[in-house]
């Protein structure tokens, strides 16, 4: 991995696309709520027998409501810009895609183990992967998270979020949140960065 300057075109594009998709679905919902529900069922992530292969990517561009969208895009923008400038746009595109797919795999596994037919939508798996990358690339950078609202080093924030997501997932706390998807994004992101580091050991 190499340090690359410049803007963050991929992160900007992801934010714009997610907002446009949500606007479109909200408009569709205002005129035909049944069609909107069908689109969520087709493009959202569902376990077998309703699973479709493209869902492992398309689910990450759907959001349940404006609050859900806002927090995901806020996190993506807050951490993704720095990560893209460091990794470069092409490599971040691969990284984000792998995290989204990894999140889907974890969530599908959890749903199948629990024998649950639950629709999963949202970019959270990719966002948690971005957070993990930020913590690994800039471990001592001080950040101020919304929850908890205290400053801490990025590496401790990543560990805290990982532990909390695991605890909440196992105990079914806030069951409406896809905790295992968040963990999946972090786990796949972690191993991908380790793989890149082994190829170029000088990467911090």
Inside any domain, residue 46: yes
* CB 121, CB 44: distance < 8 Å: yes
Inside any domain, residue 4: no
CATH for 58:
1.20.1540.10
One digit per residue, the tens of pLDDT, for the chain of length 204 reads 444 445 799 999 999 999 999 999 999 998 899 999 999 999 999 999 899 999 999 999 999 999 999 999 999 999 999 999 999 999 999 999 999 999 999 999 988 888 888 899 999 999 999 999 999 999 999 887 766 678 889 898 888 888 888 887 777 777 778 888 999 999 999 999 999 988 765 444
Residue 4 has what pLDDT?
A: 45
The contacts of residue 13 (CB under 8 Å, 6+ apart) are none
Inside any domain, residue 3: no
Residue 147 has what pLDDT?
A: 65
The contacts of residue 81 (CB under 8 Å, 6+ apart) are 7, 8, 11
* CB 103, CB 184: distance < 8 Å: yes
Inside any domain, residue 204: no
Total domains in the fold of the chain: 1
* CB 176, CB 169: distance < 8 Å: no
Residue 40 has what pLDDT?
A: 95
Inside any domain, residue 132: yes
Residue 2 has what pLDDT?
A: 46
Range of the domain at 146: 9-199
> What H or E segment, with its residue span, contains residue 62?
none
Inside any domain, residue 2: no
Inside any domain, residue 100: yes
> What H or E segment, with its residue span, contains residue 11?
helix 9-31
């Amino acid at each position: 991995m190499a340090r690359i300057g410049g803007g963050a075109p991929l992160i900007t594009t992801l934010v714009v696309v997610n907002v446009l998709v949500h606007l479109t679905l909200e408009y569709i919902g205002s005129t035909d709520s049944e069609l909107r529900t069908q689109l969520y069922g087709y493009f959202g992530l569902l376990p077998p027998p309703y699973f479709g292969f493209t869902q492992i990517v398309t689910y990450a561009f759907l959001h349940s409501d404006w609050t859900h969208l806002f927090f995901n895009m806020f996190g993506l923008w807050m951490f993704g810009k720095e990560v893209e400038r460091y990794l470069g746009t092409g490599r971040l595109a691969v990284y984000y895609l792998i995290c989204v797919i990894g999140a889907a795999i974890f969530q599908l596994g959890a749903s199948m183990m629990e024998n649950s037919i639950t629709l999963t939508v949202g970019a959270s798996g990719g966002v948690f992967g971005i957070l993990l990358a930020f913590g690994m690339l800039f471990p001592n950078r001080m950040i101020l998270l919304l929850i908890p609202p205290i400053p801490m080093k990025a590496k401790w924030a990543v560990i805290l979020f990982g532990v909390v997501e695991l605890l909440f997932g196992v105990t079914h706390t806030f069951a409406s949140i896809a905790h295992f998807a968040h963990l999946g994004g972090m786990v796949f992101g972690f191993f991908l960065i380790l793989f890149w580091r082994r190829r170029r050991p000088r990467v911090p």
